[in-house]
A = this chain, B = another copy of it.
């Protein structure tokens, strides 16, 4: 049963309801609060957000279009399992997209990004020490958000975010084995990106991100070799 994860409260009186609901649900999926296979019942969500099924359906359909959920008639909406083929495709593309960041640098955003990234280092170490996966996801999210803003090309930025959201679900099945490695890696990544930003080198940020995406991908490949029959 999901609990508060730092999202804005589901105020019933707010205007852009469907959009807000979409974002909240998306974050829950990507923060693995709703694990793959989790069933999202329209009526339950309608009750939680104190609206009718209609705005809920809008949000769920958008999630399906994002590739995050799967809606089957007569069954319900479930969080999609990422199959390995799709996973490989998405990671391969993310590598290339990160390499493109340097082609469209938004230097205006560097100071803000630097401040954000600097603020991530201490909590990241804390989350690693505490073995706190939820916090770790949130920090990952924040880093992603900060680097996205460094992309001046709006189309690339959208795509970059889109596939980040799709990719992060893959970690659900492997995080128990890889948390140690990934959290260490994250600290290195934050440090390196901070250094790059101090130099104002957005292209470097992209390459650093590319490398760490690659490292994560390789870890997953290694792990699935050791466990050849993933449940």
Is B159 in contact with A93, judged by CB distance below 8 angstroms? yes
Q: How many residues of A contact B (CB 8 A)?
A: 21
- Most chain B beta carbons < 10 A, residue from A93, A154, A156: A93
Contact of A58 among B61, B92, B100, B159 (CB under 8 A): B61
- Whether A172 sits at the interface, judged by CB under 8 Å, is no
Chain B positions within 8 Å of A153 at CB level:
89, 92-93
Is A86 in contact with B154, judged by CB distance below 8 angstroms? yes
Which residues from 51 to 92 on chain A have a C-beta closer than 8 Å to any C-beta of chain B? 58, 61-62, 65, 85-86, 89-90, 92
Contact of A93 among B86, B155, B163 (CB under 8 A): B155
**Which residue of chain B lies nearest to A64 when distances are taken between CB atoms in the complex?**
B62
Which residues from 96 to 130 on chain A have a C-beta closer than 8 Å to any C-beta of chain B? 96, 100, 103-104
Chain B positions within 8 Å of A90 at CB level:
155
Supply 7 further A-B pairs (C-beta < 8 A) apart from A62-B65, A93-B156.
Answer: A61-B62, A89-B153, A89-B156, A92-B153, A92-B155, A93-B153, A155-B163
8 closest Cβ contacts across the A-B interface?
A: A93-B155, A89-B155, A89-B153, A90-B155, A89-B154, A93-B156, A159-B159, A96-B100
- Offer 18 A-B interface pairs, CB within 8 angstroms, sorted by A: A58-B61, A61-B61, A61-B62, A65-B65, A85-B154, A86-B154, A89-B153, A89-B154, A89-B155, A89-B156, A90-B155, A92-B103, A92-B104, A93-B153, A96-B100, A96-B156, A155-B163, A159-B159
